[in-house]
Protein backbone atom coordinates (compact mmCIF):
# COMPACT_ATOMS: atom_id res chain seq x y z
CA UNK A 1 0.00 0.00 0.00
CA UNK A 2 1.38 3.41 -0.93
CA UNK A 3 1.25 6.44 1.31
CA UNK A 4 -1.29 9.08 0.31
CA UNK A 5 0.14 12.12 -1.42
CA UNK A 6 1.36 14.76 0.99
CA UNK A 7 1.19 18.52 0.55
CA UNK A 8 2.79 21.25 2.65
CA UNK A 9 1.57 24.80 3.19
CA UNK A 10 3.94 27.69 3.82
CA UNK A 11 3.01 31.22 4.86
CA UNK A 12 6.12 33.26 4.12
CA UNK A 13 8.91 31.06 5.51
CA UNK A 14 6.77 29.26 8.13
CA UNK A 15 5.38 25.78 7.62
CA UNK A 16 1.69 25.87 8.51
CA UNK A 17 0.39 22.40 7.65
CA UNK A 18 1.33 19.10 6.03
CA UNK A 19 -1.07 16.37 5.02
CA UNK A 20 -3.42 15.06 2.36
CA UNK A 21 -4.67 17.61 -0.15
CA UNK A 22 -8.22 17.88 1.23
CA UNK A 23 -6.90 18.68 4.71
CA UNK A 24 -4.40 21.31 3.60
CA UNK A 25 -6.96 22.85 1.23
CA UNK A 26 -9.29 23.52 4.17
CA UNK A 27 -6.42 25.01 6.20
CA UNK A 28 -5.54 27.31 3.29
CA UNK A 29 -9.22 28.27 2.83
CA UNK A 30 -9.44 29.22 6.50
CA UNK A 31 -6.17 31.19 6.28
CA UNK A 32 -7.19 33.00 3.09
CA UNK A 33 -10.38 34.21 4.80
CA UNK A 34 -8.37 35.86 7.60
CA UNK A 35 -7.57 39.55 7.26
CA UNK A 36 -3.91 40.41 6.81
CA UNK A 37 -2.82 36.97 5.61
CA UNK A 38 0.67 36.85 4.15
CA UNK A 39 1.37 35.03 0.88
CA UNK A 40 0.51 31.33 1.10
CA UNK A 41 2.10 28.61 -1.03
CA UNK A 42 1.02 24.97 -1.29
CA UNK A 43 3.68 22.46 -2.31
CA UNK A 44 3.26 18.94 -3.62
CA UNK A 45 5.87 17.07 -1.56
CA UNK A 46 6.36 14.48 -4.33
CA UNK A 47 7.53 17.10 -6.83
CA UNK A 48 8.42 20.15 -4.72
CA UNK A 49 6.30 22.28 -7.05
CA UNK A 50 3.56 24.69 -6.04
CA UNK A 51 -0.05 23.96 -6.81
CA UNK A 52 -3.10 26.21 -7.07
CA UNK A 53 -6.48 25.39 -5.58
CA UNK A 54 -9.97 26.69 -6.23
CA UNK A 55 -11.12 27.66 -2.72
CA UNK A 56 -14.48 29.16 -3.68
CA UNK A 57 -17.63 27.95 -1.95
CA UNK A 58 -18.20 25.90 1.16
CA UNK A 59 -15.71 23.46 2.67
CA UNK A 60 -17.67 20.57 1.15
CA UNK A 61 -17.56 22.18 -2.31
CA UNK A 62 -13.80 22.74 -2.06
CA UNK A 63 -13.19 19.11 -1.03
CA UNK A 64 -15.58 17.81 -3.73
CA UNK A 65 -13.58 19.62 -6.43
CA UNK A 66 -10.44 17.80 -5.28
CA UNK A 67 -11.93 14.36 -5.88
CA UNK A 68 -10.98 12.66 -9.15
CA UNK A 69 -13.60 12.81 -11.87
CA UNK A 70 -15.69 9.65 -12.04
CA UNK A 71 -14.76 7.21 -14.76
CA UNK A 72 -17.34 7.28 -17.55
CA UNK A 73 -19.30 4.05 -17.97
CA UNK A 74 -18.11 1.63 -20.61
CA UNK A 75 -19.86 1.95 -23.98
CA UNK A 76 -22.78 -0.41 -24.54
CA UNK A 77 -21.09 -2.05 -27.49
CA UNK A 78 -17.61 -3.50 -27.30
CA UNK A 79 -15.15 -1.53 -29.39
CA UNK A 80 -12.96 -3.59 -31.68
CA UNK A 81 -10.18 -5.22 -29.71
CA UNK A 82 -6.78 -3.73 -30.18
CA UNK A 83 -3.45 -5.37 -29.71
CA UNK A 84 -2.26 -6.38 -26.27
CA UNK A 85 -4.27 -7.67 -23.34
CA UNK A 86 -6.27 -4.66 -22.12
CA UNK A 87 -8.06 -6.63 -19.39
CA UNK A 88 -4.66 -7.31 -17.83
CA UNK A 89 -3.50 -3.73 -18.27
CA UNK A 90 -1.19 -4.67 -21.13
CA UNK A 91 -0.95 -1.92 -23.72
CA UNK A 92 0.66 -2.33 -27.13
CA UNK A 93 3.07 0.45 -28.06
CA UNK A 94 5.74 0.89 -30.64
CA UNK A 95 9.36 0.20 -29.76
CA UNK A 96 12.14 1.18 -32.13
CA UNK A 97 15.24 -1.00 -32.02
CA UNK A 98 18.11 -1.81 -34.29
CA UNK A 99 17.95 -5.10 -36.25
CA UNK A 100 20.56 -6.74 -33.99
CA UNK A 101 18.37 -5.93 -30.96
CA UNK A 102 15.33 -7.52 -32.60
CA UNK A 103 17.44 -10.57 -33.50
CA UNK A 104 18.56 -10.95 -29.90
CA UNK A 105 15.03 -10.45 -28.52
CA UNK A 106 13.48 -12.97 -30.90
CA UNK A 107 16.05 -15.58 -29.83
CA UNK A 108 15.05 -15.24 -26.15
CA UNK A 109 12.71 -17.78 -24.51
CA UNK A 110 9.16 -16.44 -24.66
CA UNK A 111 9.94 -13.97 -27.42
CA UNK A 112 10.46 -10.23 -27.50
CA UNK A 113 7.64 -9.22 -25.15
CA UNK A 114 8.73 -11.54 -22.35
CA UNK A 115 12.38 -10.55 -22.73
CA UNK A 116 11.54 -6.82 -22.70
CA UNK A 117 9.36 -7.17 -19.59
CA UNK A 118 12.18 -9.03 -17.81
CA UNK A 119 14.72 -6.38 -18.83
CA UNK A 120 12.47 -3.55 -17.62
CA UNK A 121 11.78 -5.26 -14.28
CA UNK A 122 15.49 -5.92 -13.73
CA UNK A 123 16.33 -2.28 -14.51
CA UNK A 124 13.61 -1.10 -12.11
CA UNK A 125 15.02 -3.29 -9.32
CA UNK A 126 18.62 -2.33 -10.02
CA UNK A 127 17.98 1.42 -10.38
CA UNK A 128 15.14 1.85 -7.89
CA UNK A 129 17.20 3.49 -5.14
CA UNK A 130 18.96 5.80 -7.59
CA UNK A 131 15.64 6.79 -9.22
CA UNK A 132 14.08 7.53 -5.81
CA UNK A 133 17.12 9.62 -4.81
CA UNK A 134 16.93 11.59 -8.08
CA UNK A 135 13.21 12.29 -7.59
CA UNK A 136 13.82 13.38 -3.99
CA UNK A 137 16.69 15.67 -5.02
CA UNK A 138 14.58 17.19 -7.82
CA UNK A 139 11.67 17.81 -5.45
CA UNK A 140 13.99 19.47 -2.93
CA UNK A 141 15.48 21.64 -5.66
CA UNK A 142 12.07 22.80 -6.94
CA UNK A 143 10.95 23.68 -3.41
CA UNK A 144 14.29 25.35 -2.65
CA UNK A 145 14.16 27.40 -5.86
CA UNK A 146 10.72 28.74 -5.03
CA UNK A 147 11.35 29.47 -1.36
CA UNK A 148 15.05 30.35 -1.28
CA UNK A 149 16.07 31.15 -4.85
CA UNK A 150 17.23 34.65 -3.90
CA UNK A 151 18.75 33.79 -0.54
CA UNK A 152 22.47 33.88 0.22
CA UNK A 153 24.16 30.58 -0.54
CA UNK A 154 21.40 29.28 -2.83
CA UNK A 155 23.68 28.61 -5.82
CA UNK A 156 26.34 26.86 -3.78
CA UNK A 157 23.70 24.88 -1.86
CA UNK A 158 22.19 23.77 -5.18
CA UNK A 159 25.57 22.51 -6.33
CA UNK A 160 26.06 20.60 -3.07
CA UNK A 161 22.58 19.11 -3.37
CA UNK A 162 23.22 17.82 -6.89
CA UNK A 163 26.67 16.58 -5.89
CA UNK A 164 25.04 14.60 -3.04
CA UNK A 165 27.36 16.35 -0.58
CA UNK A 166 24.98 16.23 2.36
CA UNK A 167 27.44 17.66 4.88
CA UNK A 168 28.31 20.70 2.73
CA UNK A 169 24.64 21.15 1.84
CA UNK A 170 23.66 21.22 5.54
CA UNK A 171 26.39 23.80 6.26
CA UNK A 172 25.22 26.08 3.45
CA UNK A 173 21.56 26.11 4.46
CA UNK A 174 22.15 26.19 8.24
CA UNK A 175 21.34 29.92 8.50
CA UNK A 176 18.07 29.65 6.54
CA UNK A 177 14.75 29.80 8.43
CA UNK A 178 14.24 26.50 10.27
CA UNK A 179 10.94 25.48 8.63
CA UNK A 180 12.29 26.01 5.12
CA UNK A 181 15.62 24.35 5.90
CA UNK A 182 14.01 21.34 7.58
CA UNK A 183 11.53 20.86 4.74
CA UNK A 184 14.29 20.94 2.13
CA UNK A 185 16.22 18.29 4.07
CA UNK A 186 13.07 16.20 4.48
CA UNK A 187 12.37 16.30 0.74
CA UNK A 188 15.99 15.70 -0.29
CA UNK A 189 16.90 12.99 2.21
CA UNK A 190 13.49 11.75 3.42
CA UNK A 191 14.09 12.80 7.01
CA UNK A 192 13.49 15.77 9.29
CA UNK A 193 16.92 17.15 10.04
CA UNK A 194 20.36 16.97 8.46
The 3-state DSSP class for residue 125 equals: helix
Question: How confident is the model at residue 192, as a pLDDT?
Answer: 41
Tell me the backbone φ, ψ of residue 15, rounded to 5 degrees: -75, 125
| pLDDT tens per residue across span 73-111 | 666 666 555 555 666 677 777 888 888 988 888 888 888
List residues bridging with 51 in a β-sheet: 42
Mean pLDDT by 10 residues, the chain (194 residues): 79 94 94 84 96 92 85 63 63 82 85 84 82 92 96 95 94 96 93 43
Is residue 52 classed exposed, middle or buried when 0-12, 13-18 and 19+ CB atoms within 10 A define those classes?
A: exposed
pLDDT at residue 43 in the model: 97
User: According to the model, what pLDDT value does residue 5 have?
Assistant: 86
Residue 40 CB-density burial (10 A; 0-12 exposed, 13-18 middle, 19+ buried): middle
What residue spans define the domains of the chain?
Answer: 7-66, 127-189
Amino acid sequence: MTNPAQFTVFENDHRVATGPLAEVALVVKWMADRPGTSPILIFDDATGRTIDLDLRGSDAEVVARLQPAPTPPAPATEPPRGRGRPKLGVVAREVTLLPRHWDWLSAQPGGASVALRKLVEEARRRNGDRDRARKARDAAYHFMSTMAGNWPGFEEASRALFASDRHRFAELIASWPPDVRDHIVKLAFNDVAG
